[in-house]
Amino acid sequence: MSELELDRERVIQTLCTHFAHDNLDTEELERRCEHAYKAESSAELRALVAGLPALLPDETGATPLYGVAPIGRPEVEDKRHLVVMSNVRKKGQWTPARHNKVICVMGAAKFDLREAMMLHGETHFQVNIVMGELELIVPPGLRVECDGTAFMGEFDDSHSEGLAGPDAPVIRVTGSVLMGAVRIKTRLPGESALAAWRRKIIEE
C-alpha cells in the first residue's frame, strides 16, 4: 500500500471518529469520505480534517472502526438462525456468538457488524443458503476469511480490510450456496448503501 493510500485510510478513520463523537453528521461524513477517495495528494486529504475539533489521544483516527467485547465478558458459544421464507436482520449494538449457524431457505438474512461488539479472536459464520440470500456488512479493520462453495449461486466477498492490525478480530465464513447468494460488503460506520456504491465506483 502506497503512502498516499495509507494517508487516505488514516483520514477516513479520523472522519469516522469525528462522526462517532457527533462532530460530523451523516451527510457531511459521506461528502468528506467521497472527497477522500478522489484526493490525489496528501495535502488534499489533510484539508478534509482541517478545522475539526482536536481529538484526545485515545480518540485519534487510529481507533478501530469496530467495537470489541471486553475480555472476560460471558459469551454465547453457539447460535442458530433459521430463516425460512422470511427475513432476519441484526444491526446496532449486538454481540455475535462465537459460532453462528445460518440456514436460509427462500428467505433473506442481513447481519450488520459495524456497531457490533466483536469477540476477540475468531467469529465463525457457517452458512447454508438455498434459494435465499445472506448479506454480511463489515467495517474496515476487521479481517474476513471466506471459504464457501456455490452451485448456481454466488459467494461474493467484497470486503476491504483497510488497516487491519495483527490482533484484529477475524470473521470466518464457510458453507454452501444453492441457487442463492452470500454477499460480504464493507461499509464505513454511518455509511448508506448508496454512499458505499459511490465510494466503490471512485475506488475502481
Q: What is the pLDDT of residues 69-124, one digit of tens each?
A: 776 677 889 999 999 999 999 998 899 999 999 999 999 999 999 888 888 889 99
- Measured CA to CA in angstroms, residue 68 lies from 11, 30, 118, 159 at distances of 22, 24, 5, 19
> What is the three-class DSSP state of 67?
strand
Q: Is the pLDDT of residue 193 over 80?
A: no
> What is the three-class DSSP state of 59?
helix
C-beta neighbour count of 22 within 10 angstroms: 7
**Whole-structure pTM value:** 0.69
At residue 61, the pLDDT reads 47
* pLDDT interval class at 53 (50, 70, 90): confident
Inter-residue contact 12 to 188 (CB < 8 Å) = yes
> How far is 109 from 133, CA to CA, in rounded Å?
6
Cell readout for 189 is 460506520
Distance of CA 84 to the CA centre of its chain: 26
Higher pLDDT, 160 or 130: 130
Q: Is the pLDDT of residue 132 over 90?
A: yes
Beta bridge partners of 150: 177
> What is the three-class DSSP state of 94?
coil
Q: What is the mean pLDDT of residues 19-41?
A: 84
> How far is 182 from 140, CA to CA, in rounded Å?
19
Cell readout for 11 is 483520514
Phi, psi of 166 (to 5 degrees): -65, -25
Mean pLDDT of the chain: 83
